[in-house]
A and B are shown apart, each in its own frame.
Chain A
């Protein structure tokens, strides 16, 4: 009896919370923006397709037993000469293009999100230390950041990736390629977070709650972690959202150039590179559909990021 009453109370509380969230500024502006709604729907569909790829893909494209070379190079379902069961056609190995896209998006999204998470972690740390410590430490970190910022991110990722490939023995490329790639993309991106966090930290550290924390004897590390960090995270989250799109593009570009993920675990960029070889013999679908999936994901994230930035900008309200 009491359990059910508390259930009702909890449910009621949840409903009122949900209600409050629904009426909040952010969701109100979301409901009013058809672009944001469509972008969000597309993104959810892509992410769901990628996450559940092993269960929803019509075929497991890297399980050799399920492949049949007789199915190779079949065009998409609406073109004459297509084979049943292959909605977007097949590649030269008889892999279903739709399935390779679902599995490829999995790798692309994983590398994109992991590298942004790593870059944000490093950048937030460096920004907090630089902003809080000031002086020589600040100057050293930010001078390095300035220098790095004057080179395009893709060039830095390419160089790190290239150097790693030259240094590591050739046999180990397959196993560590994805880790190296995540590291390279993160290293090319951390500066933006460091700058943002440093700026807000310098504002926050003069405030009374930080002084109070210092007076009661909390260590600098404790202050940075427990007091400053929660207060400087807002802009970082917006930045991270948009940067996932950038990271996915960099990953796709490196994979397209042949220095990204190994062909045994192809991402969308690798698929486009493989398909590029078939462009001239007329098998356009092997390239065009992975390309379309990549653009859909990146465009959806960019549009959502633009909307989020405007929605959180008090000047535009």
Chain B
């Protein structure tokens, strides 16, 4: 157990190290940072002095260590485009992305699980077939196209819902939330549906497959023989046993929801971190890119580590297998 945890932790730090190296390389090899900072008429001596003051003449590993040291403290320098601290920019954008991602995750679970259960129980019904066909179309529709079609229908044609931005927000300490105002909630509807749709189809197919698998097992047959009601068999016995993989996959998908939020935020001009990143890419705003890169790497690595350890704790078979292999 301890060896497994240590190995996973070592792997985690290796990944973070590689990502930090990429981010550092971005910083250092995209143009001369001195040229950004001094005027046209700065003399060579001025430049050299500034270079020395900033430590840019030091060896590679010293600079890298300093970069990592700053990054750990959340200091990624100043945005080239907006002239503000990157950490402040990211902190401002974080609530928008998290609220959107959370709403999408809840929506995906709230629709995906019942739909999966339904299609498994009524597997030959017309509605189940229609749902499965719709899920294939849902997988084939790129996220941004879903967003555009939703805007076209609900914002342009019907005029029911706003098509961009977050609506009015309320500041609670350092956190700005759109969940407390009517316009904020209305603005959340279309982006969260767009973001949830893909995960929804994924969860539905997963729950369906797991349910079909579980319904074939002996203990379900035994429960039927005991004369339990369908309701108690389906929800008390079958669904409960399908939920472990569903929870793990959903946990893993939380990271991709935050990643896919980049696309949704661009379509709906949602003022989150993803939109900030895309604008940074388009304007080659390196400090913002590097910071986002590190942020998303940490999110993924933490989620993966948590899921792996959870798996290990929940599934005893994994322990035996690993014990036999090593």
Residues of A within 8 A of B (CB): 143, 147, 150-152, 154-155, 158-159, 161-163, 165-167, 170, 245, 249, 252-253, 256-259, 272, 276, 279-280, 282, 284, 287-288, 291, 294-295, 298-299, 302-303, 306
Besides A280-B163, A295-B140, 4 new A-B residue pairs in contact (Cβ under 8 A), listed by A number: A150-B252, A253-B142, A256-B144, A299-B137
Q: Are B142 and A258 in contact (CB under 8 A)?
A: no
Which chain A residue lies CB-closest to B157?
Answer: A284
User: What is the CA–CA distance of A245 and B136 in the complex, to the nearest angstrom?
Assistant: 13
User: Among the listed stretches B109-117, B211-219, B233-241, B280-288, which one makes contact with chain A, having 4 or more residues with CB under 8 Å of it?
Assistant: B280-288
Q: Are B11 and A143 in contact (CB under 8 A)?
A: yes
With contact pairs A253-B144, A302-B140 given, residues A151 and B26 touching in the complex (Cβ less than 8 Å): no
With contact pairs A147-B15, A162-B281 given, residues A279 and B151 touching in the complex (Cβ less than 8 Å): yes
With contact pairs A165-B284, A259-B282 given, residues A272 and B144 touching in the complex (Cβ less than 8 Å): yes
Contact of B266 among A155, A257, A272 (CB under 8 A): A257
User: What is the CA–CA distance of A298 and B146 in the complex, to the nearest angstrom?
Assistant: 14
Q: Are A163 and B140 in contact (CB under 8 A)?
A: no
B259 at the interface (CB under 8 A from A): yes
**4 interchain residue pairs of minimum CB distance:** A162-B281, A299-B140, A155-B259, A152-B256
Q: Are B140 and A279 in contact (CB under 8 A)?
A: no
Kindly list chain B residues whose C-beta atoms are within 8 Å of the C-beta of A306: 136
- Residues facing A in B247-300 (CB within 8 A) are 252, 255-256, 259-260, 262-263, 266-267, 277-278, 281-282, 284, 286, 289, 293, 296, 300
Residues of B within 8 A of A (CB): 11, 14-15, 22, 26, 29-30, 136-137, 139-145, 148-149, 151-152, 156, 163, 252, 255-256, 259-260, 262-263, 266-267, 277-278, 281-282, 284, 286, 289, 293, 296, 300, 304
Kindly list chain A residues whose C-beta atoms are within 8 Å of the C-beta of B11: 143, 147
Q: What number of A-B contacts does a CB cutoff of 8 Å give? A: 102
Kindly list chain A residues whose C-beta atoms are within 8 Å of the C-beta of B263: 154, 253, 256-257
User: What is the CA–CA distance of A5 and B156 in the complex, to the nearest angstrom?
Assistant: 70
Q: Are B282 and A245 in contact (CB under 8 A)?
A: no
User: What is the CA–CA distance of A302 and B136 in the complex, to the nearest angstrom?
Assistant: 8
Kindly list chain B residues whose C-beta atoms are within 8 Å of the C-beta of A276: 148, 267
A36 to chain B, nearest CB (A): 14
Contact of A151 among B141, B152, B300 (CB under 8 A): B300
Q: Are A302 and B260 in contact (CB under 8 A)?
A: no
User: What is the CA–CA distance of A280 and B269 in the complex, to the nearest angstrom?
Assistant: 14
Kindly list chain A residues whose C-beta atoms are within 8 Å of the C-beta of B145: 272, 291, 294-295
Contact of B156 among A151, A279, A294, A295 (CB under 8 A): A279
Q: Are B300 and A291 in contact (CB under 8 A)?
A: no
Which chain A residue lies CB-closest to B27?
Answer: A166
Which chain B residue lies CB-closest to A259?
Answer: B281
With contact pairs A279-B151, A279-B152 given, residues A166 and B142 touching in the complex (Cβ less than 8 Å): no
B contact face: mostly helix, strand, loop, or mixed: helix
Which chain B residue lies CB-closest to A299?
Answer: B140
Q: Are B30 and A167 in contact (CB under 8 A)?
A: yes
B101 to chain A, nearest CB (A): 13
Contact of A155 among B15, B278, B296 (CB under 8 A): B296
B322 to chain A, nearest CB (A): 15
Which chain B residue lies CB-closest to A282?
Answer: B156
14 residue pairs bridging A and B, Cβ less than 8 Å apart: A152-B255, A152-B259, A163-B22, A166-B26, A167-B26, A257-B263, A258-B282, A272-B144, A284-B156, A288-B152, A291-B145, A294-B145, A299-B140, A302-B139
User: What is the CA–CA distance of A276 and B256 in the complex, to the nearest angstrom?
Assistant: 25
Q: Are A165 and B140 in contact (CB under 8 A)?
A: no
B22 to chain A, nearest CB (A): 7
User: What is the CA–CA distance of A252 and B142 in the complex, to the nearest angstrom?
Assistant: 8
Which chain B residue lies CB-closest to A252?
Answer: B142
User: What is the CA–CA distance of A276 and B152 in the complex, to the nearest angstrom?
Assistant: 10
User: What is the CA–CA distance of A290 and B300 in the complex, to the nearest angstrom?
Assistant: 34
Kindly list chain B residues whose C-beta atoms are within 8 Å of the C-beta of A245: 140
